[in-house]
Amino acid sequence: MSNAETPRADCTACTHRNTILAAGRCEPGDRCLIAHSGRQIERFLRMNPEFAVGCLQDAFWERRAIAVRYAPVEAVRTLAHDTDEAVRRAVVTRRPPHELRAIIDDSDREVRITVASRLPPTRLYVMLDDSDYLVRQHVAQRIPHGSLSRLVKDEDREVRKEVARRLPSFVLSRMAGDEDPEVRAIAAARMLPDDATRMLDDPDWRVRLGAVERAPLDAIRASVGDEDQDVREQARSRLNDMRTKDTT
């Protein structure tokens, strides 16, 4: 933003002009509490955090959201149900994780995602049935392995892909029949070798490619004739590596 476009508040209307401004703790167009500029408000409160509490009930949502970063935790709790979702997200980042259980039903997806990123992993099971797939995807990224099985049949493929990335290899065979080839491909590339062998005949080349990387060498000999070039080349590469090792 050029200087001509930089918002500048009217210092003559500011109650801080004879104190904060006079002391050099604010600067019009750069560090300003009353400007409608998040950058200027943030810079002002970073230098003058004692003013944050007084901004928590401000009419401007961005001023409230920024003030949450600098106000004491006991003060920001009062904004847990603020009308603006950005303010509520900021509140979630400040409150201790053990207090977030009460916020898992917030109406805003981004607020719930922030909750999912901060709840202790062992307590994330309370969000397994969230209505939004992005929230469940974040849950799948952090929840303990023992609880991931509840998401194996999730309705959204992005959630199941995350599950396939994290499930222990010895249980990935549960995803061998997933309807989505991208999910099966991720699973096939991480399965136990014998389980991967059963994926070598999958109709999707991406799944077969993942399986070729994991299946025992004896099982992939037929894959050198696969209809897909990438699968053929991967099979030949693994078999050639075996022959090279046998001759050294």
* 139 and 203 in a common domain: no
Percent with pLDDT over 90 in the chain: 81
Task: Write down the pLDDT at residue 103.
Answer: 92
Cα distances from 104 to residues 108, 110, 161, 237, in angstroms, run 10, 11, 23, 49
- Phi, then psi, of 31 in degrees rounded to 5: -125, 105
- What value does the mean pLDDT take over residues 174-201? 97
Q: What is the DSSP string of 51-89?
A: GSGGGTT-SSHHHHHHHHHHS-HHHHGGGTT-SSHHHHH
CATH number at 116 reads: 1.25.10
Q: 191 and 203 in contact (C-beta within 8 Å)?
A: no
Position 185 in a domain: yes
Residue listed under structure tokens 């961005």: 62
Q: What is the pTM of this model?
A: 0.85
Give 233 or 20, the one with higher predicted confidence.
Answer: 233
Task: Write down the pLDDT at residue 1.
Answer: 45
Q: Is the pLDDT of residue 3 over 60?
A: no
Mean pLDDT of the chain: 92
Q: 44 and 34 in contact (C-beta within 8 Å)?
A: no
Position 225 in a domain: yes
Select from 134, 167, 200 the last residue of a domain.
Answer: 167
Tens of pLDDT along 113-132?
A: 999 999 999 999 999 999 99
Q: Is the pLDDT of residue 243 over 90?
A: no
